[in-house]
Chains A and B, each alone.
Chain A
Amino acid sequence: MSYAAAETAPVAAGHYQATEVTKTFGSVSVLRGVSLTLRPGRIHTMMGENGAGKSTLFKILSGLLRPTTGELRLDGAPVAFSAPHDAHQRGIYLVPQEPALMPELTVAETMFVGQLPTRAGFPRRVDWPGLRRQAQQALSSLGLAIDVGQLARHLSIAQQQQVECAKALLRGCRIILFDEPTSPLTSHEVERLFGIMRRLRDDGCTLGFISHRMDEVLDISDDISVLRDGALVDTVDRSGFDRVRLLSQMVGREMRVIPRRTASFSTGRPMLQVEGLAHAPRFHDVGFTLHEGEVLGLAGLVGAGRTEIAETIFGIRTPDAGHVRLGGDEITGLAPHAIIRRGLVYVPEDRARHGAILPMTITENITSGLLDRLRQRFGLIDRNDEDRTGAAIVTQYRVRCAGIDQPLRQLSGGNQQKVVFGKWMGLQPRVAILDEPTRGVDVGAKDEIYELIEELAKAGLAILVISSEMEELVRLCDRVLSIYEGRIVAEIEGADITPARVGQSYLSRDGLAA
């Protein structure tokens, strides 16, 4: 197969239709009967909260996953793919958010992987000059100036996405799906990508797009479909675009959230003061004060820079600029262990990787962070004291378990999280940063964790909560800061903390002003 194959590839009219597509993983249902049609010359955007099923849908459309039930039709004829390669041959290409790189190959070669052009004759050899020429032309036709002779590892993510677009065209693909391409990009890079997308659309390609950012979605889309909990809520075209309505469709379910009775802490004793903190390119000029007994929320999209802010405060990352003070003392640039000793703890999002040691027992997990505080005899840890400490925390944090010697992995997600909390709170910190404190915790246990957080706050702990769930922020926080592309764009206080306001506040760089 030589490059000529690309020219004989189906010049599809490009109507790509999904009918009643469902997808289940084990017992978890991710897509529930989604039906929609992508049309040539249009950019069709999927919107929805995290976990709504947008990416899964695109993976099914592009052959990475197979639907559990339902049907795909390309220009009226049913199609089924066993691998992405099959989808490419039918003219469908997925541009992932962070394209799978072949770092040690040249850009030109990566564009032709799997179908290198060869020269006739024996032995059949790769046509390197032809390959480079075609690769360079494909990029030029999109207005891109990327040296195809350099190694792919030197490309930025934006360039990788651009190369993927050219790759789709080289493979004769006219249905191109973009899975949340803009979240790792700067605004300048987004404009460039949109330029390419418009060019492809005007040329009659069928484009699919996923994004959380309301501004850019309204800017570039011709059609918008809203997904919620794996089901299609609505599809509207440009005439039906309405920011507020889309938002309420995304959030959807009745908000039966009882907000915390909030208090104003601006006159209270400041515990954590952050000033002009920056870590390019992830966040810039972040400043806030967290007071004793206050629960402050950080709202934002995944990738907005919230975790990076927390990691910088905690000393995992070194800031480019700015100051962090803990109870008045400068802690900027200290290492995490020094910061912990001064009374600030960070409970990270990925419990299994950073917080919990699953094969070890509950007690061992709890005491692993405070071994030097246990009573010792001749330099050896007093096991009785260790057990007492473990038992005390299990009781205080209402961990449901068979006994304190049970391995942590046997507990449910919620109880594991309580143990992790107990471990950190055993250090008696003054400030705690909780990153997605209820990730992987079932609904019933969530409430218990919320109650624990409230009790800790009542006892005077200053708490910074990072959460992607609006209900959680509404339920817990006295104050919410909204982060968009690494900047604080809104501050919401007291009674203003409602799902709608919080949800709207971090979707654009204008915060609530828009």
Chain B
Amino acid sequence: MNIIVCIKQVPDTAEIKINPETNTLMREGVPSIINPFDLHALEAAVRIKEDLGARVTALTMGPPQAESSLREAISMGADDAVLLSDRAFAGSDTWATSYALAGAIRKLGADIVFCGKQAIDGDTAQVGPETAEFLDIPHVSYVRNIEWIRDNTIRVQRLMDEGYDVVESPLPVLLTVVKELNQPRMPSLKGKMAAKKAQIRMMGKADIEADEDSLGLKGSPTKVKSIFAPETKAGRMMIEGGPEEQVDILIKELRKIKCL
């Protein structure tokens, strides 16, 4: 069985701050990490490999420096790693990203494709299902448990608003996973050695037989028009004084508007 895990290198968004004067992002020194949801996707794949036998390939699309996240994936149990990187991919929105990823997955071949439910920088949760559509395979989102795999069928639990659905799908299938699925392991010493030595396979636009007009910024239907900080609320009241005074004023205000 071949399993592909799609991972994304993202800035640790909890560390990003906004410059209050210019309303712009301060990205200097923000560390890059593997998208946390993708670690659960990788763990799921490695556990299937341990239980049933499989070859696990970590795939990422990004700039050359995303290679470090692939080495990390190998240290956590992936067998192979593929870096899909090309200047032509720059500026891709979810549509163009999924188009390119699907091209690579088609070339590599997979029985199961795992993705995290969403990336913490974009938070769209769209790339998984869009990639499945381009591959013309079924997908199940928000997988919180894998019950069994047999006879070319997989049974999983899909998290819903008010509980969960038990869903069966034929293989090949794409699954997007939530954190409840498992606890990702720490890299092993053996894994770290393997990561150091591993050959990272490179793929570019020529390798995925892509339609040039469907790549990157040019191939992306959505365009970012502007970026801005949210507006300040009118009629705000700052309560001054010592703590006791502040509490008293707040209570008085809340009683005035009949909230207490």
Q: Answer whether A and B are interacting partners.
A: no
Chain A residues proximal to chain B, CB less than 8 Å: none
Chain B residues proximal to chain A, CB less than 8 Å: none
